[in-house]
Amino acid sequence: MTINQSFLSSFGITLDLAVEAHEVVRGQTGQEIPGVIMDKHSYSSCTVNTVKIVEESAEQIMGKPRGTYITIEAPAIKDNNRKIHQEIVEVLAKHLSQLFNLSDKGNVLVVGLGNWNATPDALGPKVIDQVMVTRHIFNYAPSEVRDGMRPVSAVSPGVLGTTGIETAEIVKGIVDNIKPELIIAVDSLASRSVERIATTIQIADTGISPGSGVGNKRAGINQESMGVPTIAIGVPTVVHAAMIASDAIDRLFAHYKTNPQIYQAYQQQVVQETLQQVLAPFGGNLMVTPKEVDILIQNTSRIIAGGVSAALHRGITSEEYSMYLH
């Protein structure tokens, strides 16, 4: 069964990855989407797919705002290979740099979204622990400032359930005080495919809506709400159980495709009703994450922190990077 908008709507699933939204729409129509431009580059350690939504009509079809969505697909992230991880860091830094146009001393705020007490949602806070923060050096130790460094500050504001404050409200208060030229927000995402968990990094110049992928939409952090250009970086850490079950049913019935009677009985409506019954104890909204998610978060947070730091501080080498960690 091809996953379509009806299936996603029935379970309240939002596709965080633009490349997956594109796959779903193309699967339904079998045609290219007007107003969407696709591009692809291959590197030794990863593949980079770029989706550009350039027209309002494409916005509505894709269910995503106009902008550029860069997806780095790197299964090697799961491997404990620091050399390959460093290659992915460099690819991330290169493509992230293409999305902003900052002055040499442009002030940047990095925001780590998520709940540090829940491992699948702790990507943002983990990145903040490792990103190269320098605003205090510019303010209090200017003699230590190196060529190629920018003033960068970072914050992990927590989640509504632990602070009682909307994340966007906290970020807006900080933005109004320190007046950054750019916000980079890092968050965990939801995917439709288990293969993309902790192996895919999305960079988008459209900002982000915290919690949207798990049916818990909050106020957005974007240029419209913050008054500042906002880039979102995310990694899928969970998959909706309905997606996993649907894929499993697809593979099961692929074995029975030679039997017309059984295969014809396989109707989308039947599958949706069955999955809704199975997931009823969870209100139809059950998210699944791998047991080794703590290691995966560790790898991806280190790669993202390295990529962000390399993009913002072009004059600092990877060898010097650790000297400036707080």
Provide the residue ranges of all domains of the chain, joining segments of one domain with +: 5-321
Q: Mark the ranges of the chain whose per-residue pLDDT is less than 70.
A: 1-13, 27-30, 210-218, 243, 247-248, 250-275, 278-286, 319, 321-326
> Whose structure tokens read 């969870």?
282
Q: How many CB atoms lie within 10 A of CB 254?
A: 10
Residues in the chain: 326
What pLDDT is recorded for position 271? 65
What pLDDT is recorded for position 272? 66
DSSP state at residue 145: P
Residue 284: left if φ>0, alpha if ψ -120 to 50, beta else—which one? left
What pLDDT is recorded for position 167? 93
What pLDDT is recorded for position 214? 46
In the chain, what's the furthest Cα-to-Cα distance? 78
Q: Which residues contact 33 (CB under 8 A, 6 or more apart)?
A: 22, 25, 26, 58, 61, 62
Q: Distance (Å, rounded) from C-alpha 125 to C-alpha 300?
A: 12
What pLDDT is recorded for position 323? 62
Q: Distance (Å, rounded) from C-alpha 234 to C-alpha 93?
A: 14
Model confidence, pTM: 0.84
List the one residue out of 132, 112, 114, 131 whose CA is nearest residue 122.
114
What pLDDT is recorded for position 258? 62
230: enclosing H helix or E strand: strand 230-240
pLDDT tens track for 133-182: 999 999 999 998 888 899 999 999 999 888 999 999 999 999 999 999 99
Q: Distance (Å, rounded) from C-alpha 324 to C-alpha 298?
A: 19
What pLDDT is recorded for position 324? 62
3-state secondary structure of 100: coil
| DSSP alpha helix (H) spans, the chain | 5-10, 18-29, 56-62, 82-97, 123-130, 135-140, 160-163, 167-178, 223-226, 241-254, 260-264, 268-278, 293-312, 318-321
Extract the tokens encoding 182.
Answer: 């750019």
The CATH number of the structural domain formed by 5-321 is 3.40.50.1450
